[in-house]
Chains A and B, each alone.
Chain A
Amino acid sequence: MPNPTLPRERTAYSAIVDRPPLKLPGGARLVFWTIVNLEVWDIGKPMARQVLPAPTGQPMLPDVPNWSWHEYGMRVGVWRFFDLFRRLSIRPTLSINARVCEDYVRVAQEAKDAGWEFMGHSYEQGPIHKEADQAAMIARAMGILEKFTGKRPVGWLGPGLTETYETPELLAAAGVKYIGDWVYDDEPTTIETANGPLVTLPYSVELNDIPMMIVQHHESDYLSKRAIDQFDRLYAEGAQRAKILALAIHPYISGQPHRIKYLEQIYDYVAGHDGVLHWNGEQILDWYLAQTNTAIRAE
Chain B
Amino acid sequence: MNDAAKRPAVGMLPTERIDYSPIAGRKVPKLPGGGRMLVWCIVNVEEWDILSPMPRTVLTPPAGGAPSPDIPNWAWHEYGNRVGFWRMLKVFDEFKVPVTLAINGSAIAAYPQIVQAANERNWEFIGHGFTQRNMQKVEDERADIRRTREVITRVSGKPPRGWLGPGLTETWETPDLLAEEGYDYVCDWVLDDQPVWLKTRTRPILNIPYTQECNDVAMMLIQHHTAAEYFERARDQFEQIYQDAADGARVMALVQHPYIVGAPHRLKYLRQAIATMAARKDVLFWTGAQIVDWFMQE
A15 touches B71 (CB 8 A): no
A207 touches B60 (CB 8 A): no
Q: Mark A1-41, 1 if CB is under 8 A from B, else 0.
A: 00010111000011111100000000000000000000000
A226 touches B227 (CB 8 A): yes
Q: How far is the CA of A265 from the CA of B121 in the complex (A)?
A: 41
Q: Mark B269-292, 1 if CB is under 8 A from A, else 0.
A: 000000000000000000000000
Quick check: is B8 within 8 A (CB to CB) of the other chain? no
B59 touches A129 (CB 8 A): no
B 216-232 contacts with A by CB, 8 A: 224, 226-228
Q: How far is the CA of A216 from the CA of B57 in the complex (A)?
A: 11
Q: Smallest distance from the beta carbon of A144 to chain B beta carbons, Å?
A: 19
Quick check: is B78 within 8 A (CB to CB) of the other chain? yes
A183 touches B76 (CB 8 A): yes
A161-B59, A215-B58 known; A205 vs B72 contact (CB < 8 Å): yes
CB-nearest residue of chain B relative to A185?
A: B82
B82 touches A15 (CB 8 A): yes
State the interface size on chain B (CB cutoff 8 A): 42
Q: Smallest distance from the beta carbon of A8 to chain B beta carbons, Å?
A: 8
A162 touches B83 (CB 8 A): no
B62 touches A184 (CB 8 A): no
B264 touches A181 (CB 8 A): no
On chain A, the residues within 8 Å of B92 by CB distance are: none
Quick check: is A65 within 8 A (CB to CB) of the other chain? no
Quick check: is B50 within 8 A (CB to CB) of the other chain? yes
B224 touches A216 (CB 8 A): yes
A49-B62, A184-B82 known; A230 vs B71 contact (CB < 8 Å): no
B 47-77 contacts with A by CB, 8 A: 50-51, 58-65, 67-76
> Could you give 19 example pairs across A and B, Cβ below 8 Å?
A7-B69, A13-B81, A14-B82, A17-B86, A45-B63, A126-B63, A127-B62, A127-B65, A128-B67, A129-B65, A161-B72, A165-B69, A181-B71, A183-B75, A185-B82, A186-B264, A222-B226, A229-B266, A245-B264
Listed in ascending order, the chain A residues whose CB lies under 8 Å from chain B are 4, 6-8, 13-18, 45-49, 125-130, 158-165, 181-186, 205-208, 210-211, 215-218, 222, 225-227, 229-230, 232-234, 237, 245
